[in-house]
């Protein structure tokens, strides 16, 4: 039976997915199942993964080539990570990095490779325009993070799903791609089903886009086509600090600190393990942008060190140590009869609870008067504020982002097209690649850019083939 598809309407999914009974032991595909998929001239794109990169890429391909049949397969919920990111607000991208070279520097894995055409083809400004033009107004916050004006990630999710629907992209949920292989004619045979069931479905696809995020599913598929995988390790996580006194300060934040991470095994580029930015005290240790950036740049080294190391924090980075000592001496002269626990130089910009924590660490009694503080104590307090050490004992989880370092090496794909260098018409986009960014909207921008580039190239390929076929039949 040959299927004639009217565009842009879709036939039921079973016309695209041909059911065949298999057992997990034999993995048998019948010739009937393959041949009943439709006319061989039909161009089909199968996207594995219904996240940001997959859906964005599917929309782009379908926009450029309306006659291309596009199917996105997602085992869970579509755009689930988009839904929960940014505390449910969705940090769409970063609006402060308009220069592509500066933008690439926010990617611990990929910072060298992404300085080329990648973001130039589709960068943050392009992403913002795309959503704005489709009814999702955006705003850029002081730190550069871009959110929908609604402060609700549903605005982004609904926009993407609506755009996919009106373009004619088929979204299939609750199934996984179990395996994929190339056929003699260069097309892909994609086996789809539920891992717990013995019934599977076969798709013959002209193009395959793997956009599974950090899921092992995508890595498994990549290896089936001969690609290597850089072992994934966690990135973007908080630091566990075993300090009961610090835990009592949970909720206190610092607008600007300088934090330096020292590990047992030194990194090749130690400069990246020094970061400046906001920091937050939690019940289990330390978090905030400065910690998350350190975790991203030190991801592999922290993994090797079993997430143990020494964190050195400068709580007054804009004040040098000599100035700090001078301010403390001046304060002692001005308030000799005050308790040291009740007052301190306002130039430090600290909260009272943390000042008392500093005194406890230094060993000064809270009832001590300023007049009684020795010069040695003033020096010790200054040193502590400038070089406060914490023993990192493990990693926590950053609830807003679940990012890994690792995946398909960038050397095995073309960043100009996102196409595999090993297998024609096989594409990758998003976190399945060995690319990860620091917090602030950079990981989503990698997804939008990669999906857009892959979708553009697939759409052009399919459109060119469609135009050639029309010329052959005299249309």
CB 422 within 8 A of CB 340: no
Domain end position, chosen among 401, 434, 462: 401
According to the model, what pLDDT value does residue 449 have? 98
Please tell me the predicted confidence (pLDDT) of residue 11: 34
Cis ω before 94 (30° cut-off from 0): no
Are 215 and 230 members of one domain? Answer: yes
User: Where does a domain end: 371, 401, 431?
Assistant: 401
Report DSSP letters for 160-197, one per residue. HHHHHHHHT-EEEES-EEEEEEE-TTS-EEEEEE-TT-
Residue 20 domain flag:
no
Structure confidence at residue 471 (pLDDT): 53
pLDDT given at position 10 = 37
**Does residue 196 sit in the same domain as residue 279?**
no
Task: State whether 278 and 359 are in the same domain.
Answer: yes
Co-location of 216 and 347 in the same domain: no
- 29 part of a folded domain: no
Asked, for residue 5, whether it belongs to a domain, the answer is no
Residues 215 and 107 in one domain: yes
The answer to whether residue 76 is domain-embedded is yes
pLDDT at 316: 98
**pLDDT of 1:** 33
Is the same domain home to 274 and 246?
yes
Does residue 164 lie within any of the structural domains? Answer: yes
Residues 68, 138 within the same domain: yes
Question: Would you write out the chain's pLDDT as a tens digit for each of its 475 residues?
Answer: 333 333 333 333 443 443 333 333 333 333 333 333 334 468 999 999 999 999 999 999 999 999 999 999 999 999 999 999 988 999 999 999 989 999 999 999 999 999 999 999 999 999 999 999 999 999 999 999 999 999 999 999 999 999 999 999 999 999 999 999 999 999 999 999 987 777 889 999 999 999 999 999 999 999 999 999 999 999 999 999 999 999 999 999 999 999 999 998 766 667 889 999 999 999 999 999 999 999 999 999 999 999 999 999 999 999 999 999 999 999 999 999 999 999 999 999 999 999 999 999 999 998 999 999 999 999 999 999 999 999 999 998 765 557 899 999 999 999 999 999 999 999 999 999 999 999 999 999 999 999 999 999 999 999 987 665 545 444 4
CATH number of the domain within which 98 lies: 3.50.50.60
- Same domain for 374 and 301, yes or no, is yes
Residue 141 near residue 438, CB atoms below 8 Å: no
Query: Residue for token digits 């989880």?
Result: 397
In a domain, 6, yes or no: no
Looking at the fold, whether 69 and 150 belong to one and the same domain comes out as: yes
- Total structural domains within the chain: 2
The pLDDT score that the predictor gives to residue 402 is: 74
Residue 285 belongs to domain spanning:
237-401
74 in a structural domain: yes
Residue 10 domain flag:
no
Q: Are residues 294 and 166 in the same domain?
A: no
pLDDT computed for residue 230 by the predictor: 97
What distances in angstroms separate CA 186 from CA 181, 204, 206, 240, 423, one per listed residue? 10, 10, 8, 50, 9
* Residue finishing a domain among 344, 370, 401: 401
Residues 253 and 389 in one domain: yes
Residues 202 and 68 occupy one common structural domain: yes
Please check whether residue 276 is in contact with residue 258, taking contact to mean a CB–CB distance below 8 angstroms.
Answer: yes
Rounded to a whole number, what is the distance in angstroms from the first to the last CA of the chain? 25
Tokens of 50: 């219904």
Tokens of 60: 């782009």
Cα radius of gyration (the chain): 27
């Amino acid at each position: 039976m040959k299927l004639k598809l009217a565009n842009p309407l879709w036939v039921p999914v079973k016309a695209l997915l041909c059911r065949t009974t298999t057992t997990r032991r034999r993995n048998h595909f019948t010739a009937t199942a393959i041949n009943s998929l439709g006319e061989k001239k039909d161009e089909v794109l199968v996207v594995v993964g219904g996240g940001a990169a997959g859906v964005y890429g599917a929309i782009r391909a379908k926009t450029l080539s309306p006659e291309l049949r596009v199917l996105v397969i997602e085992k869970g919920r579509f755009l689930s990570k988009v839904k929960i990111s940014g505390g449910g607000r969705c940090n769409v991208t970063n609006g402060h990095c308009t220069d592509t070279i500066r933008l690439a520097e926010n990617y611990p894995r990929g910072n060298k490779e992404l300085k080329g055409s990648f973001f130039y083809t589709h960068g943050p400004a392009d992403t913002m325009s795309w959503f704005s033009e489709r009814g999702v107004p955006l705003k850029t916050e002081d730190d550069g993070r871009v959110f929908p004006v609604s402060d609700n990630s549903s605005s982004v999710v609904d926009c993407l799903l609506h755009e996919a629907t009106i373009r004619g992209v088929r979204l299939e949920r609750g199934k996984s791609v179990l395996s994929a292989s190339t056929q003699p004619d260069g097309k892909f045979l994609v086996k789809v089903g539920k891992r717990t069931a013995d019934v599977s479905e076969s798709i013959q696809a002209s193009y395959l886009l793997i956009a599974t995020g950090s899921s092992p599913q995508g890595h498994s598929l990549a290896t089936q086509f001969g690609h290597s995988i850089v072992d994934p390790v966690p990135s973007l996580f908080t630091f566990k600090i075993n300090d009961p006194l610090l835990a009592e300060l949970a909720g206190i934040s610092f607008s600007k600190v300088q934090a330096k991470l020292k590990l047992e095994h030194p990194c090749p580029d130690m400069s990246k393990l020094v970061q400046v930015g906001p920091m937050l005290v939690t019940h289990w240790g330390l978090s905030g942008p400065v910690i998350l950036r350190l975790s991203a740049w030190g991801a592999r080294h922290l993994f090797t060190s079993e997430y143990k190391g020494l964190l050195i924090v400068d709580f007054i980075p804009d004040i040098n140590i000599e100035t700090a000592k001078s301010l403390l001496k001046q304060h002692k002269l001005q308030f000799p009869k005050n308790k040291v626990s009740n007052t301190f130089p306002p130039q430090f910009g600290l909260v009272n609870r943390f000042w008392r924590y500093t005194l406890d660490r230094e060993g000064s009694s809270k009832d001590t008067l300023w007049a009684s503080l020795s010069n040695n104590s003033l020096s010790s307090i200054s040193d502590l504020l400038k070089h406060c050490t914490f023993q990192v004992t493990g990693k926590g989880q950053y609830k807003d982002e679940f990012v890994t370092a690792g995946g398909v090496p960038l050397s095995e794909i073309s960043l100009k097209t996102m196409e595999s260098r090993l297998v024609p018409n096989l594409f990758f986009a998003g976190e399945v690649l060995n690319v990860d960014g620091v917090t602030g909207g950079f990981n989503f921008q990698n997804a939008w850019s990669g999906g857009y580039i892959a979708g553009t190239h697939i759409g052009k390929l399919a459109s060119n083939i469609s135009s050639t076929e029309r010329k052959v039949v005299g249309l």
